[in-house]
Amino acid sequence: AAPPAPPTTRRPAPQRRALARARAAAATSPAPPGPGDGGAADPGPRHRNAAAAAVHAAWQCLLASGRPTPVRRSLERLVLHAEAAFTAPGPGAGAAEPELLRAWAARTRGRGPVPAPPTAPATAGELHGIDAERAALRARGGRRAARRALLRRLGPGSPLLPVAVRTLAGCALAGYLCAALGVGRPYWVIVTAASLCQANITLSWNRALQRTLGNLLGVLVFAAVLPVSRTGPLALVCCCLFFAFAAEALITRNYWLGTVAVTPMALLVVEFGGAHPAGELIGDRVLDTVLGAAAGFLAATLVTNRRATGRVERALDAADRARAAAERTGADPAAAPAERDRARRTLTASLVELREAGDIAAGEWWQRALPEQRLLAAERAGHRTLAATAQRRGPTAHAPAIGAE
């Protein structure tokens, strides 16, 4: 029998990275001012939404990671402190200091032990709510329910459907152009077209500029290193490893810089099958970039997401319902801690969805006018209600109704 595979050295690494991002975002997003803060400056809904999105992603990562372990328990306590940092209404509410959150984030990203935060008064109830939500997820069917939810997100009427259609149209158009013009490496054109199809036309235009600029600069880098790579097999391998490392290090931080490293790496990989004329490789890459960018952006322009504004309106209604439910459970003294925690996390998820829907609709052309004032008021009211429920103070009297601001 074959020996068992060695165990993974950092099994909770994805959760640790998600939590580090959540704490870093919470450290840079001050909490909304409380009733006793006088004229404290409001950090704005966009900053709070960034922190809420990071904390929500961390919760989702932990809930999807399986049964709680001692390490995951410590990570859950750290998320509670990060959540309190951007929901605690004003100073003195028990939120961790930004410097402490940044220190915890740095230690969590490393390989050492998970930081042990001080025990908060409501930690036991919060963890009980997390366990109840995890049990409810298992009762709903686990992976089978997740597959059904994915299929619903791709069905008719889904906000993801226009993105899928424009990606399919862009790739099909790029493939047709390749066949008509006799391009030698059609997969480069199709990959370029697919990478340009983003959630809205503004993001697609930005990606087209970044991809084109990065590929053209990458071609120049390839022309500079090609003589060195052809000195021997070892030099070719070392050049590929260098650009692979550079691509992994840069692509998540700056897309066009990452493509500057990806382009010479892709061209050098072709050299493993045999030497090719440099002019042919460079010309093919430039042609593929231009054709792919043109096909992808044309598809993104023609296939508009007319449902973007409707998604914002549905997200506004969902945020109103979630805020009302959070206030109702916070005001009910008989409500279970698990029910309060679930209502608060539902409100957080609705605020994240609302901001995402608003950003996508704002960058899409040929849309109805967005309800900007209602969107801003809903975000402010939701975050103030979130702050009040996080402190177990019941429904906040300071959270304005929708349209009050």
355 close to 53: Cβ distance less than 8 angstroms: yes
Instruction: Please state the domain extents for the chain.
Output: 13-139, 164-302, 306-390
pTM above 0.85, yes or no: no
Nearest of 217, 167, 165, 219 to residue 195 by alpha carbon: 167
Q: What is the pLDDT of residue 192?
A: 93
For 14, the token pair is 């994805």
Nearest of 319, 372, 247, 401 to residue 52 by alpha carbon: 319
For 250, the token pair is 């840069």
Q: What is the 3-state secondary structure (H, E, C) of the chain?
A: CCCCCCCCCCCCHHHHHHHHHHHHHHHHCCCCCCCCCCCCCCCCHHHHHHHHHHHHHHHHHHHCCCCCCHHHHHHHHHHHHHHHHHHCCCCCCCCCCHHHHHHHHHHHHCCCCCCCCCCCCCHHHHHHHHHHHHHHHHHCCCHHHHHHHHHHHCCCCCCCHHHHHHHHHHHHHHHHHHHHHCCCCHHHHHHHHHHHCCCCHHHHHHHHHHHHHHHHHHHHHHHHHHHHHCCCHHHHHHHHHHHHHHHHHHCCCCHHHHHHHHHHHHHHHHHHHCCCCHHHHHHHHHHHHHHHHHHHHHHHHHCCCCCHHHHHHHHHHHHHHHHHHHHHHHHCCCCCHHHHHHHHHHHHHHHHHHHHHHHHHHCCCCCCCCCHHHHHHHHHHHHHHHHHHHCCCCCCCCCCCCCCC
Residue at 385: amino acid letter: T
Q: What is the pLDDT of residue 93?
A: 42
Nearest of 87, 165, 105, 161 to residue 392 by alpha carbon: 87
217 close to 250: Cβ distance less than 8 angstroms: no
Q: What is the pLDDT of residue 49?
A: 76
Q: What is the pLDDT of residue 143?
A: 67
Q: What is the pLDDT of residue 295?
A: 94
Q: What is the pLDDT of residue 133?
A: 64
Q: What is the pLDDT of residue 202?
A: 93
Give CA–CA dist 271/275, Å, rounded.
Answer: 5
Q: What is the CA radius of gyration of the chain?
A: 25
Residues in the chain: 405
The residue behind tokens 């093919």 is 284
Nearest of 347, 326, 318, 319 to residue 395 by alpha carbon: 326
Contacts of 13 (CB under 8 A, 6+ apart): none
Per-residue pLDDT tens listing for the chain (405 residues): 334 334 444 456 677 777 777 767 777 765 555 544 444 445 556 677 777 888 888 877 877 776 777 777 778 777 777 777 766 654 444 445 677 777 777 777 766 677 776 665 555 556 656 666 666 666 666 567 767 777 777 777 777 888 889 999 999 999 999 888 888 788 889 999 999 988 899 999 999 999 999 999 999 999 999 999 999 999 999 999 999 999 999 988 899 999 999 999 999 999 898 888 888 889 989 999 999 999 999 999 998 887 788 889 999 999 999 999 999 988 888 877 778 888 888 898 899 899 889 999 988 887 788 888 899 899 889 888 887 876 654 333 333 333 333
